[in-house]
Amino acid sequence: MKSKVIRFLGRFLYIAPMAAFVSAVSPNLSAFANDTPSLWLGLVNEKTQSLEWPGSGFEIIFTGKAVSVTLEDSGKNSLVVENDGKLSKLQLARGKKTYQFVADGGGQQHTLRLIRRTEKMFGPTTLSSIKTEGTLLPGKKRNRQILAIGDSISAGYGIEGSDQSCKFSADTQNQYLTYPAVVARSVGADITTIATSGIRVSPKFPSDVTTMPFVFQQAVPKGRVFDVVIVNLGTNDFSEKTKPDNFVNAYAAFMAVIRDQSPDAMIYAALGPMLTDSQFSEASAAIEAAVKLRHQRGDGKIRFLALRTKAKGFGCNWHPNAETHARLAATLTKTLEHDLNWKRDAAN
């Protein structure tokens, strides 16, 4: 079988990729029972074994020399590959295909993580089977759980684009490089992302079901509890000419829904970094008013967080690129250190 090296994930990671993959399975690989991974990552439809949300994925902990994974996809999605901590990008083929990942070190224990870079609009990526000549081992969730709720910024829209003139595409999107994902890795937390480009908080009409408050209640299973929730919404509400009259109440009501789901979570009502100064002033005032309403109702674990930083460059359509996201991540990491005493590189 002829193999080829998976190409580099991007210049902002500063880490070389590792293994090669081949499109056919070696005949000595045997299927695991139930074909389920060691651990699901992010927001996954476990019944259909489908990855749809950015940052969703799975972890395979195994002994042996190689593992193969069969996935079905539209051909537009791509995955970040963490193979024993070494990073690469896997562009998925259209239809059902098998990808083999080769590990170094013989029969030692290995960890393979496959994480979706792209958002829901590009269709699901469905796991069909996992095979190896070794043994599958169970995984364990980290002690710290972060939920990121947002729009195109949190979804990684255009983050790998060359400059602001490029258009939106699946190829330039990468949730792995977004500021919430960077922060989660730096503090040793698991990250779950629910983000959709163009999404709003306030409905445009009474029966509008395209807002994040509606989508959140449909997408996030009951019982999923988080330690930190980062909400970066409002950009699409306030980037239009008319200010939404119902934003404050809609935002406060959404915070109440999040609080019901995660009673002890620290909630950050964040904003930035794409609005103009005047738009940011309007939007931040509205969000702070919503936060004040929550405080008046006895919720003391919610605060406004301004994510404003001098851009180090732009991705597609003026979205923040990876370097700007890294600056936003530094702001959020310092906030978590101050508020929760979450140290960097914590072992969890």
The pLDDT tens digits for 268-309 are 999 989 999 999 999 999 999 999 999 999 999 999 999 988
Residue 158 falls inside a structural domain: yes
pLDDT of residue 8: 32
Whole-number Å distance between alpha carbons of 284 and 266: 19
pLDDT of residue 29: 54
Residue 345 falls inside a structural domain: no
Q: How far is CA 132 from the centre of its chain?
A: 28
225: CB partners within 8 A, 6+ apart? 145, 261, 262, 263, 264, 265
Q: Return the beta strands (E) in 196-310 as ranges.
A: 228-232, 266-271, 302-306
pLDDT of residue 313: 81
Residue 346 falls inside a structural domain: no
pLDDT of residue 311: 66
One domain for residues 192 and 324: yes
Residue 234 falls inside a structural domain: yes
pLDDT of residue 245: 86
Q: Where are the alpha helices (DSSP H) in 95-173?
A: 152-155
Dihedral-angle region of residue 248 (phi above 0 means left; psi in -120 to 50 means alpha; beta otherwise): alpha
One domain for residues 316 and 225: yes
One domain for residues 119 and 178: no
Residue 347 falls inside a structural domain: no
CATH of the domain at 277: 3.40.50.1110
CATH of the domain at 36: 2.60.120.260
Residue 153 falls inside a structural domain: yes
Domain hosting 231: range is: 144-340
Last residue of a domain, one of 78, 103, 137: 137
Whole-number Å distance between alpha carbons of 25 and 19: 15
Whole-number Å distance between alpha carbons of 271 and 282: 11
Residue 239 falls inside a structural domain: yes
pLDDT of residue 84: 92
Average pLDDT by consecutive 10-residue portion of the chain (348 residues)?
A: 33 31 42 73 95 98 92 97 95 97 78 97 96 91 97 96 92 97 97 97 88 95 95 94 88 98 98 93 97 98 92 87 95 96 71
One domain for residues 109 and 157: no
Residue 348 falls inside a structural domain: no
One domain for residues 284 and 156: yes
One domain for residues 179 and 315: yes
Whole-number Å distance between alpha carbons of 20 and 30: 20
One domain for residues 116 and 162: no
One domain for residues 9 and 133: yes
One domain for residues 121 and 268: no
One domain for residues 171 and 263: yes
One domain for residues 196 and 82: no
Last residue of a domain, one of 137, 162, 180: 137
Identity of the amino acid at 282: E
Last residue of a domain, one of 110, 137, 164: 137
Q: What percent of the chain has pLDDT over 90?
A: 77
| Count of the separate structural domains present in the chain | 2
One domain for residues 133 and 149: no
Q: Return the beta strands (E) in 196-285 as ranges.
A: 228-232, 266-271
